[in-house]
Amino acid sequence: MQCIMDHLVINMEDDRKMISFYEQVLMLQTERLEDYRLGRVPFPSLRLNGDTIIDLFPKQMWEKRAAHGPGRENMNHFCIALTEQDWRELLERLSRNSVVIEEGPVERWGAHGDGVSVYFRDPENNLIEAKYYR
């Protein structure tokens, strides 16, 4: 199976500092920033390259789900993008291996717009999103 990294999600507490750092220090282009500031989308993104973005999740999106109690986890989840056929085959392998799909299939934003995603965990409890674009 071949795939590309679609996006990384980083939990943040101070959106001004985080956006400023990634935009001004790392020189990454922001996406959906104006819509985020106007409350039209729940989080902003930063473009790493043509295939990969970093999503910055504000506190209200992650604080209730932190697995280790109060505080925050640094990484929310990572996402791999697949062809639709490879995605369907992955779902079959997850089922055969008794891997629980925690959420999905659902429509989610990613590096190439909206796609269809499922969420599941690896053996050390890291959350993985697998998606395909229509």
Q: Render pLDDT for 10-66 as a digit per residue (tens, 0 to 9).
A: 888 899 999 998 898 778 899 999 999 999 999 999 998 999 999 999 988 887 665
Q: What is the pLDDT of residue 58?
A: 92
**Domain map of the chain by residue range?**
4-132
Pairing of strands 75-81, 127-132: parallel
Integer CA distances (angstroms), 12 to 51, 60, 83, in order: 22, 10, 31
Q: Which CATH class is domain 4-132?
A: alpha beta
Host H or E run for residue 106: strand 103-110
pLDDT band at 72 (very low <50, low <70, confident <90, very high): low
pLDDT of residue 118: 96
Average pLDDT over residues 103-107: 97
pLDDT of residue 10: 87
